[in-house]
Amino acid sequence: MSLRRLSLLLVPTCAAWLGCGDAAPPSEEVNPPEIAMDPREGTAVIANEDMLPGCGEPDAGTGPLDAGTSVLVTADSRFHSSAGVTVVPQSLAGRDLEILVPNGIAFDRYSGTPVAGGMRFDTVPEGEYFLRSGRNYYLTRERHFDLGVNRIGRPDAVYLSAFVDSPASVELFNLEPWQDYVSISEQGSSVQLSSADVDLFSALSVWAPAGDTSIVDPYSSAYLNNGYGAPVLDASKGDRIYVNQLNSVQAGTLPSGGTLAYQSVVSSAHLPSFSFTPDGTTPLPLAATLQPVRQTPFSLEWRLSEFTRWRSDANPSGTLNYPSLSLVPAPFGYQDGWVGYQGELFNMWLPRGEDGVIASRLAYGNPYPSNWGVVGTAGYSFRAATPVVIGSRIHYPSGNIYVTDRLDRLIAGPIQPPVSPPRELRIDGVDAYVSRVVGTNQPVISWRPPVLGTARNYVVSVIQLISTYAANPTLRFYVPGDRTHVRLPPDLLLPGTTYYVRVMAEGSPNYEPSRAPYVTAELLPIITADTFSAAFTTP
């Protein structure tokens, strides 16, 4: 996704934790997604190495694809910009790819050979196999598998992975009066940077006294990595940055009696083109006089109770966590779905456990061109009632229900989930919602289909709980919706290690992880619902 379906919600969640008042303690597990470019398990903006384009030159002399016994894997990058879409083939030399063909409870493994435009696997028998890309396993029968991705920005842009954290010199004027953090629902003010000339998004690290309308800070900072590194800005190419201010707006009363509030873009500046090469030392120059952004009204009926009613399917002993609603820009329109990540136009975070119905008239600010779209995501998270402590780190196994679509379609009727979580999750036939030591390091994970809706695919995530504050190592298995079990390949789970399992029901009508997992993940609508296990330990 580009970024990244669920990273849409990671940003406001992290903002909530970084606030004060009733924000969660810093040791609480907020389930940071682990693989930046995984379309269905969005993450922070650091990609796994295996998700980046390969390097080196392909061997063009390895011969044509044999349609009967060979599998060809390709990975074009599709760059979306104001000039259209430019397709750039990527070498897969050096990419961590493998085919695993089931053979009883074991798997026969096949290595590939780099060829022009991709990677070829020879003598692969007909039938199903797992294509492994890093820690992701795709069950498929395809003889041509597409690992291509959509990207934002011009195709000749340069990205520097060594310098993703940049100092910034900030001079911003004519802001809306700065607001302090009040609660998870009233986040106060923040500043975001974005660009679609190159792939760039960052929450700017700034602070001002309440009521101020300017910020002059030569020692600010910006994290410039959108998955591939920090972009080099080139004035001769017309590279520009948007600077957006978001403020909180009160909008009535919650069903529980608290304040209904949201955060919207209220002022913005589109900087003139300039050149900048991140080097970790030179500050990114950000000087602008912001202008008010027109607020576009919309009405919604968000039926929280239609999300919370599935709590026991998500986990019988789980608890309600946070509901959230976000609106984001879709650069250059909806032709390929929601491509890229340019921050948020609107964020609404409700208190933990909020229930009932939100029926309100709200508004969002949108500084972007009229040919860009607006995409909305409504979600509700569930988490374990008790934490799992590994070393000094506290984890809460968790799952979510999400609905993502064009804003006009999302609010055309009541917002409610079209699919519910899978049910009756088991590990080797035993209830997975109860913590235990499993009997093998190669377990079978099984579940029953959702009560509501139809799962077109399932994503089985096996998440390792660790003592450090790095992202949790995660294995993911993508299987079609007619399957309700997965046997893990041998030697993946570490002995004496704690994990939990999350099974996501995918109701998205256009998502095809058995053929093209990344580009089809951008297509709308996106519909997901999770069930999650208790923690378990391997022998």
- Compute the average pLDDT of residues 411-415: 98
Answer whether 39's CB lies under 8 Å from 521's CB: yes
pLDDT band at residue 30 under the 50/70/90 scheme: very low
Determine the Cα–Cα distance for residues 362 and 301; give it in Å rounded to an integer.
11
Q: Half-sphere exposure of 157 toward its Cβ, with a 13 Å CA cutoff?
A: 34
More confident residue, 131 or 35: 131
Q: What pLDDT is recorded for position 348?
A: 98
Q: What are the residue boundaries of the structural domains of the chain, listed by start?
A: 49-134
Global confidence as pTM: 0.89
Q: What is the pLDDT of residues 226-285, one digit of tens each?
A: 889 999 999 999 999 999 999 999 999 999 999 999 999 999 999 999 999 999 999 999
pLDDT band at residue 68 under the 50/70/90 scheme: low
Q: What pLDDT is recorded for position 517?
A: 98
Please give the C-alpha separations between residue 79 and each of 151, 275, 354, in angstroms, as whole numbers: 5, 21, 40
150: closest CA among 475, 405, 516? 516
Q: What pLDDT is recorded for position 502?
A: 98
Does the pLDDT value for residue 34 go beyond 50?
no
Q: What pLDDT is recorded for position 63?
A: 46
Q: What is the pLDDT of residues 429-467, one digit of tens each?
A: 999 999 999 999 999 999 999 999 999 999 999 999 999
% of the chain at pLDDT higher than 70: 87
Does the pLDDT value for residue 71 go beyond 70?
yes
Beta partners for 26? Answer: none
Determine the Cα–Cα distance for residues 341 and 3; give it in Å rounded to an integer.
6
Q: What pLDDT is recorded for position 364?
A: 98
Answer whether 48's CB lies under 8 Å from 135's CB: yes
Q: What pLDDT is recorded for position 21?
A: 31
% of the chain at pLDDT higher than 90: 86
